[in-house]
Structure 1
Amino acid sequence: MRGFIAVSSAISKALGFVSALLLASAVLSVAHMVFVRYFLGQSTVWQTEYTIYAIVCATFLGAPWTLLVRGHVNVDLLQIASPPKLRLVLQVLSGLASLLFAGLLAYATSFYLMETWEYGWRSETVWAVPLWIPTLPMAAGFIMLSVQYVAEILRLFLDGPDVPESPLADQTELFSETTKTAEASR
């Protein structure tokens, strides 16, 4: 099980790197578009569509990495206040619900990918991109997100519940240090 967790984490990290490259290429594409339009006075053909697809692909391919680094939105007030055993149950239930959602989206996007491939759909632009190209990262991202959720659930069973850090921990420590300093100076 540790091997599965390590492999899925490595793949998620690699997809996070690919997402960063896609976002950087989108920025360069926009810069190129601005230069061509406003400085050379020419029209652009591929830049807008590429930028949109790159950002969408980065979003879906980066989702497993975001889960790995705990970057997804998480309402954890109840988890923080719960004892460790209940916290584990809550985190597993949350992971299972999220896995179900990601799995359903993985199925739907995979089905859509097969349709775009089978029917040879293309975008209705001058560039006419085959739609399986931007659809593939959506399906791959949701499949890998589902795999990463399985790895995170397994990690919970092996390592126990995550202990979220209280947002007030730093302020409490700072207050304690200030109080000690003030008392020592008296």
Structure 2
Amino acid sequence: MSGTLAAAPARSGGNAFIRTVHAISTVCGWTAAAFTVIALFVTCHMIFVRAVLNQSTIWQTEAVIYLMIAATTVGLPYVQRLRGHVNVDLVPHMLPRRVRRVLAYVVLISTIAVMAVLAWYAFDVWHQAFDRNWKSSTVWAAPLWVPYLAMPVGFGLFILQLVADLVGLITGAEPPFGIEDH
């Protein structure tokens, strides 16, 4: 088998579009990390309020859930840029170069299509929450359009990174599945 066991981050090959998308995806990664750190501090605050002050919490649990959902969805493009998603590359390693390239196109286009459906429905849910002024059914009564916004934004930016990967494949900046031919 040729290639490395660990996938390398996506390359731009000097393409301005790909470099721009990579920069956006990196900002998404930093944003997702910030959401995770904020969720950690909110969790610590919640523990302090409950254990030390012996008071009930109102907004902390819900905020942590929303922050972690946002971190997960907004972090998708960054993880894709780093090739950090689960990748089973046994079959691509065994395929001839041309078949591997065709499979890479099929996988990228299929992933874009599935993510487009998810983004569409996430946008629809966000829009309904915004338009109908939905609020959470807790004491905090947070407006649900705020946390729901992370889903269409995250999925949309993930699609943008997938399109950049497709452009990289088309232009030859990125080999199929990151596997170099020797």
Question: TM-score normalized by structure 2?
Answer: 0.87
For 1:34, what is the secondary structure of its paired residue?
helix
**Is contact 1:36-1:43 (8 Å) kept?**
yes
> Match for residue 178 of structure 1?
none
**Unpaired runs of 5+ in structure 1?**
166-186
> Aligned partners of 1:74 and 1:99: how far apart in 2?
16
> Aligned partners of 2:20 and 2:121: how far apart in 1?
25
> Match for residue 140 of structure 1?
153
> Aligned partners of 2:87 and 2:36: how far apart in 1?
24
Percent identity among equivalent residues? 37
TM alignment of 1:100-115, pairs within 5 A: 100-115=113-128
**Is contact 1:80-1:163 (8 Å) kept?**
no
**Divergent runs of 4+, >6 A:** none
Letter in 1 for 2:120: Y
> Match for residue 8 of structure 1?
21
Question: TM-score normalized by structure 1?
Answer: 0.85
> Aligned partners of 1:121 and 1:46: how far apart in 2?
16
**Is contact 1:156-1:162 (8 Å) kept?**
no
> Aligned partners of 1:41 and 1:81: how far apart in 2?
60
Post-superposition offset of 1:162: 3.6
> Aligned partners of 1:40 and 1:117: how far apart in 2?
36
Post-superposition offset of 1:161: 2.1
Post-superposition offset of 1:24: 0.6
> Aligned partners of 1:162 and 1:98: how far apart in 2?
14
Q: Which has the higher helix share?
A: 1
Larger radius of gyration: 1
Letter in 1 for 2:16: G
> Aligned partners of 1:111 and 1:41: how far apart in 2?
41
> Match for residue 62 of structure 1?
75
> Match for residue 172 of structure 1?
none
**Would you say 1:38 and 2:59 are equivalent positions?**
no
Post-superposition offset of 1:22: 0.4
> Match for residue 66 of structure 2?
53
Letter in 2 for 1:76: D
Post-superposition offset of 1:94: 0.6
> Aligned partners of 1:36 and 1:71: how far apart in 2?
36
> Aligned partners of 2:125 and 2:46: how far apart in 1?
30
Post-superposition offset of 1:163: 3.6
